[in-house]
DNA sequence: ACAAAAAATCAACACGCTGTTTAGTAACAA
DNA sequence: TTGTTACTAAACAGCGTGTTGATTTTTTGT
């Protein structure tokens, strides 16, 4: 399907509005950011803003969606090493992506689970569960609780890693998540 | 220290404003709730609102703080059974509290970790870690990651339990959290 | 090169909400 | 009963929003 060419003015407008919101979010919560302030920073007319977005929350949602798409592409274009767990490689890629894009990730991973990473980690954890919980018949609700625990926990861990300067190697972090998901504290005893 | 008696008018004003915001939050996010709408619902003058709160975010923060204090008191006034893990009993109390106050908890546990429960669960998990990770010398950062994983994961699990109608008994949920924290998926194999 | 279309700008407008001030009223506590 | 405190009501200036219509600029297609 032929990709429709987007007018260069539209590309610029969206790029500069997104960049402006990201920069404002570094210092303020979304609730304190006005459309007026975004447009002033971007040097874009307010009517132009309304031509593309409903409000600042819509703009933020579209930034997140763009990130989601970018992460999906990033993880899809990937060749696994045969001699390693696929999960640990995928988690490693996620941490690598976050490290490469730490500025925008710091802003977007704000006490929220509706991010691209949460969904990707959900998929990984679900796969692990399916691999390990096949011998017993479990209540689907319990499985969902387990998945929620591991996926949300991973986001909390990722948040912490971001907030404390990302000192540890990405592969180490991927291993920690896998260990905690599979064996909890006993993996570290 | 003698507890200062609060004027009944102030007690009523704060109670009705808090209740009004909670009810509005059932249907709308905080960003869409105006001070005007809170005051209309409460039938309280706007100047009175400003006498007590800075804005709707301040009101919400104080509601959360009140909940935090209430939870702390609830968990402190508690006698442990000797023949059971203290952690599972505390977790059970947390789930009981949430069940008894599910209306306000549904509203307040909104993709956020800055809640009373997160902090309480942090304390429990920290204790578990201290109990089990004493034989080895771990990087404090790694311990913090483990705590973040388990505490945030617990919040995700609690959120899920709330969202799906709280069908399972509170004690079952407490046990699931403990199992996942201690042994991860292997506890369910 | 030129014309049509698209995107952005500009100015204006009505509206809604905010945050403050002042005077008056009602409730509370001593 | 009285003084104090808390709340109400009205008014106000200011700010931001969302929309409209005309104009300008840029882009695209012929």
The tens-digit pLDDT sequence of chain B (189 residues) is 445 688 999 999 999 999 999 999 999 999 999 999 999 999 999 999 999 999 999 999 999 988 888 888 888 877 777 777 888 899 999 999 999 999 999 998 876 667 778 888 888 888 877 777 776 667 888 999 999 999 999 999 999 999 999 999 999 999 999 999 999 988 887
> What local confidence, expressed as pLDDT, does residue B39 receive?
97
Q: What is the DSSP letter of A168?
A: S
> What local confidence, expressed as pLDDT, does residue A135 receive?
66
Put simply, the answer to whether A183 touches B181 (Cβ < 8 Å) is: no
The answer to whether the Cα torsion of A17, A22, A26, A30 is positive or negative is positive
**Residue B21 at interface with chain A, using a CB cutoff of 8 Å:** no
Residue A100 contacts residue A167 (beta carbons within 8 Å): no
What does the block give as tokens for B132? 């089990």
* 3-class DSSP assignment, residue A158: helix
CATH level 2 (architecture), domain A82-188: Orthogonal Bundle (1.10)
**Cβ-proximal residues to B176 (8 Å cutoff; 6+ apart), any chain:** A142, A145, A146, A149, B157
Write out pLDDT tens, residues A74-133.
888 777 777 778 888 999 999 999 999 998 999 988 766 677 788 888 888 888 778 777
Task: Examine the pLDDT at A1 and tell me if it is beyond 80.
Answer: no
> What local confidence, expressed as pLDDT, does residue A124 receive?
83
Q: Which nucleotides of C are covered by protein (CB under 7 A)?
A: 6-12, 16-22, 27-30
Residue A152 contacts residue B155 (beta carbons within 8 Å): yes
pLDDT bracket for residue A2 (50, 70, 90): very low
**Residue B163 at interface with chain A, using a CB cutoff of 8 Å:** no
Task: Examine the pLDDT at A22 and tell me if it is beyond 70.
Answer: yes
Domain ranges across chain A: 8-53, 82-188
For residue A98, count other CB atoms closer than 10 A to its CB.
Answer: 21
Instruction: Indicate the burial class of B109 (C-beta count within 10 angstroms; 0-12, 13-18, 19 or more).
Output: buried
> What local confidence, expressed as pLDDT, does residue A21 receive?
96
Residues 115-144 of B with CB under 8 A from A: 128-129, 132-133, 135-136, 138, 141-142, 144
Contacts of A138 in chain B (CB under 8 A): 188
Interface test with A, best of B148, B172, B173, B183 (most A CBs within 10 A): B148
* 3-class DSSP assignment, residue A49: helix
Can B8-53 and B64-188 be said to share one CATH topology?
A: no
The CATH number of B64-188 is 1.10.357.10
Instruction: Kindly report the average pLDDT of chain A as a whole number.
Output: 88
**Residue B13 at interface with chain A, using a CB cutoff of 8 Å:** no
Give the distance, in angstroms, between residue A34 CA and nucleotide D15 C1': 11
Distance in angstroms (rounded) separating the CA atoms of residues A80 and A89:
7
Q: What is the DSSP letter of A82?
A: T
Distance in angstroms (rounded) separating the CA atoms of residues B8 and B19:
16
Interface test with A, best of B60, B111, B157 (most A CBs within 10 A): B157
Task: Examine the pLDDT at A152 and tell me if it is beyond 80.
Answer: yes
Distance in angstroms (rounded) separating the CA atoms of residues B109 and A145:
16
Put simply, the answer to whether A186 touches B186 (Cβ < 8 Å) is: yes
**Cβ-proximal residues to B70 (8 Å cutoff; 6+ apart), any chain:** B116
For residue B123, count other CB atoms closer than 10 A to its CB.
Answer: 14
> What local confidence, expressed as pLDDT, does residue B84 receive?
78
Distance in angstroms (rounded) separating the CA atoms of residues B107 and B110:
6
Give the distance, in angstroms, between residue B5 CA and nucleotide D2 C1': 21
CATH level 2 (architecture), domain B8-53: Orthogonal Bundle (1.10)
Average pLDDT over residues A15-44: 95
Q: How many Cα atoms occupy the beta-carbon half-sphere of A60 within 13 Å? A: 23
Q: How many residues does chain B have?
A: 189
Question: Which pairs count as long-range contacts for B84-89, CB under 8 Å and 24+ apart, including other chains?
Answer: B85/B178, B87/B124, B87/B127, B87/B128, B87/B178, B88/B171, B88/B174, B88/B175, B88/B178, B89/B174
Average pLDDT over residues A149-155: 92
């Amino acid at each position: 399907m032929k990709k429709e060419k987007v007018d260069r003015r539209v590309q610029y407008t969206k790029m500069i509005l997104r960049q402006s919101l990201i920069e404002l979010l570094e210092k303020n919560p979304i609730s304190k950011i006005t459309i007026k302030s975004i447009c002033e920073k971007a040097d874009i007319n307010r009517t132009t803003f309304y031509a593309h977005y409903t409000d600042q929350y819509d703009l933020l949602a579209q930034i997140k969606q763009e990130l989601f798409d970018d992460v999906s592409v990033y993880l899809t274009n990937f060749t696994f090493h045969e001699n390693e767990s696929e999960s640990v490689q995928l988690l490693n890629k996620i941490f690598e992506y976050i490290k490469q894009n730490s500025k925008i990730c710091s802003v977007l991973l704000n006490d929220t689970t509706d991010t691209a990473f949460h969904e990707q980690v959900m998929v990984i954890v679900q796969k692990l569960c399916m691999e390990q919980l096949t011998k017993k018949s479990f209540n689907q609700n319990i499985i969902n609780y387990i998945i929620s625990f591991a996926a949300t926990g991973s986001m909390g861990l990722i948040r912490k890693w971001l907030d404390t300067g990302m000192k540890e190697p990405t592969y180490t972090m991927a291993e920690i998540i896998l260990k905690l998901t599979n064996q909890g504290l006993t993996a570290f005893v």
